[in-house]
Amino acid sequence: VAQEKINTDIVTLTRFLTEEQSKHREATGDFTLLCHALQFSFKSIAYYIRRASLINLSGLAGSSNSTGDDQKKLDVIGNDIFVAAMRSSGKCRLLVSEEEEECLVFDENPKARYAVVCDPIDGSSNLDAGVSVGTIFGIFRLADNAQGKQEELLLPGSELVASGFTMYGASAQLVITMKGSTVNGFTMDNALGEFILTHPNMKLPKSRAIYSVNEGNSLYWEEPVKKYFDSLKYPAEKGGKPYSARYIGSMVADAYRTLLYGGIFAYPADRKSTKGKLRILYECAPMAMVFENAGGQAVNSRMERMLTVVPEHIHDRSGIFMGSYDEVQKVIDIHKKYQ
Ligand code: AHM
Ligand code: MG
């Protein structure tokens, strides 16, 4: 039997973060420690999701969250894990979670310089069917004179210092990017208990004929959105090939596929949900940063660059189109033409 080639010089997330930190002379190590706490929450959430059906964690918790969604038992557990990890990191001052109506202020860490936004378990309506879900996160650095107030977090995504998401699928994947840097993908090795760098410098293909949208909402779509998706399905040129449709219904999973294969993911605002469905601060902005740093584009339903959108409230929603550079450009061009 041929011996498996063993890599004895693996880049773990811990090593990656330490190496990143050493590139910044002024770094204090706070950001690295915060990331270690994040990493622990991802591992724990992944662990409970894997075991959910075995330890009676499926189904509803009997409560609803700030925006009125029914909470699953795992939504509550995922949130509690995340909150505990951020509080105990000592580096997080403010935390906005999809599952918490108000921004959490950790007064016990008044000197902490970071604010974190998160959706602890995105796609949770899919949980009981064993479909991939994940955690979306963004990290802001607070101003030196910050008071630790919720309003200080009403920032555009362009202010994020780091963002990313995990996807708990066949294996747990972690995608992370920092301001002005590349996008890197890690895979959880359960035996080692470490995220291993498996997808360095992720770059979206410039174009790809795949679209990902909940077509069940098309009755409510505005004209330019209808025209755009029709143009993908019924190509104008003779003999043109229509796009493939792929929609999982978990943004983390749809986004992960789009990052790897290219194409477009959209959740447009429409006549029924005029503000869109996905939340600006902890769903749209972190994803937009990942997509831009991987060479793609992300815009809202008004065709504004997603990263420039400032939420008026921490749970504000927006329409979003994100994906390969050329695919998003087509959306922008069609909107210009039909608006
Ligand atoms: P959630 O944060 O309550 O899980 O909702 C967000 C999810 C996204 O993961 C996904 O893209 C979208 O909602 C799916 O919505 P729909 O079922 O309307 O297609
Ligand atoms: Mg969500």
Query: Nearest bound ligand to CA 218?
Result: 1
Q: Report whether 218 contacts 229 (CB < 8 A).
A: yes
Task: Write down the H helix ranges in 52-123.
Answer: 73-89
Residue nearest (by alpha carbon) to ligand 1 atom 16: 249
Residues 6+ apart with CB under 8 A from 282: 96, 97, 98, 117, 118, 119, 136, 137, 138
Q: Is the CB of 318 under 6 A from ligand 1?
A: no
Question: Alpha carbon 257 to chain centroid distance?
Answer: 13
Looking at the predicted structure, is the pLDDT value of residue 62 above 80?
A: no
Instruction: For Cα atoms 58, 38, 175, give the angle at the middle one, nearest 5 degrees.
Output: 85
pLDDT of residue 23: 86
DSSP character string of 123-183:
TGGGGGGT--BEEEEEEEEPPTT----GGGG---GGGEEEEEEEEESSSEEEEEEETTS-E
Specify the higher pLDDT residue, 2 or 191.
191
Question: CA–CA separation, 301 vs 156, rounded Å?
Answer: 16
Which DSSP letter does residue 305 get? Answer: B
Confidence of residue 328 (pLDDT cuts 50, 70, 90): very high
Residue keyed to tokens 């004929």: 209
pLDDT of residue 27: 80
Residue nearest (by alpha carbon) to ligand 1 atom 17: 249
Q: What is the mean pLDDT of residues 56-71?
A: 73
pLDDT of residue 128: 84
Question: CA–CA separation, 99 vs 80, rounded Å?
Answer: 9
Q: What is the mean pLDDT of residues 248-257?
A: 98
- Mutate which of 278, 315, 320 for ligand 1 pocket (most atoms within 8 A of beta carbon): 278
Confidence of residue 307 (pLDDT cuts 50, 70, 90): very high
Looking at the predicted structure, is the pLDDT value of residue 71 above 80?
A: no
Using a pLDDT cut of 70, give the percent of the chain over it.
99
Question: CA–CA separation, 239 vs 223, rounded Å?
Answer: 25
Looking at the predicted structure, is the pLDDT value of residue 64 above 80?
A: no
Per residue in 122-176, pLDDT (tens digit) is 998 888 888 999 999 999 999 988 999 999 999 999 999 999 999 999 899 999 9
pLDDT of residue 339: 75
Q: From ligand 2's centre to the CA of 283, what distance in Å?
A: 6
Confidence of residue 103 (pLDDT cuts 50, 70, 90): very high
Helix (H) or strand (E) holding 186: strand 183-189
The amino acid at 36: H
pLDDT of residue 60: 77
pLDDT of residue 102: 96
Q: Is the CB of 30 under 6 A from ligand 1?
A: no
SS3 content of the chain, % helix, strand, coil (to 5): 35, 25, 40
Q: Is the CB of 119 under 6 A from ligand 1?
A: yes
Per residue in 23-45, pLDDT (tens digit) is 887 788 999 999 999 999 999 99
Q: What is the mean pLDDT of residues 237-248?
A: 95
Q: Report whether 328 contacts 287 (CB < 8 A).
A: no
Mean pLDDT value across the chain: 94
Which range among 50-54, 78-82, 131-135 shows the weakest confidence by mean pLDDT?
50-54
Q: What is the mean pLDDT of residues 225-254?
A: 96
Starting at the edge strand found earlier in the chain, the sheet holding 134-141 runs: 104-105, 92-97, 114-122, 134-141, 160-168, 172-178, 183-189, 194-199
Looking at the predicted structure, is the pLDDT value of residue 63 above 90?
A: no
Q: From ligand 1's centre to the CA of 194, what distance in Å?
A: 28
Looking at the predicted structure, is the pLDDT value of residue 53 above 90?
A: no
Q: From ligand 2's centre to the CA of 315, what distance in Å?
A: 11
Question: CA–CA separation, 15 vs 21, rounded Å?
Answer: 10
Looking at the predicted structure, is the pLDDT value of residue 54 above 80?
A: no
Q: Is the CB of 124 under 6 A from ligand 1?
A: yes
Q: From ligand 2's centre to the CA of 123, what distance in Å?
A: 6
Query: Nearest bound ligand to CA 136?
Result: 2
**Model ipTM value:** 0.95
pLDDT of residue 213: 98
β-pair type (172-178, 160-168) = antiparallel
Confidence of residue 98 (pLDDT cuts 50, 70, 90): very high
Q: Is the CB of 64 under 6 A from ligand 1?
A: no
Q: What is the mean pLDDT of residues 248-271?
A: 98
Q: What is the mean pLDDT of residues 198-219?
A: 98
β-pair type (317-318, 244-245) = unpaired
Q: From ligand 1's centre to the CA of 320, what distance in Å?
A: 12
Residues 6+ apart with CB under 8 A from 252: 122, 123, 132, 133, 134, 135, 136, 165, 166, 167
Instruction: For Cα atoms 311, 316, 322, give the angle at the middle one, nearest 5 degrees.
Output: 80
pLDDT of residue 22: 86
Question: CA–CA separation, 176 vs 132, rounded Å?
Answer: 18
Q: Is the CB of 135 under 6 A from ligand 1?
A: no
Looking at the predicted structure, is the pLDDT value of residue 67 above 90?
A: no
Q: What is the mean pLDDT of residues 308-335?
A: 98
Task: Write down the H helix ranges in the chain.
Answer: 13-23, 30-51, 73-89, 223-233, 251-261, 285-293, 325-338
Q: Report whether 323 contacts 291 (CB < 8 A).
A: yes
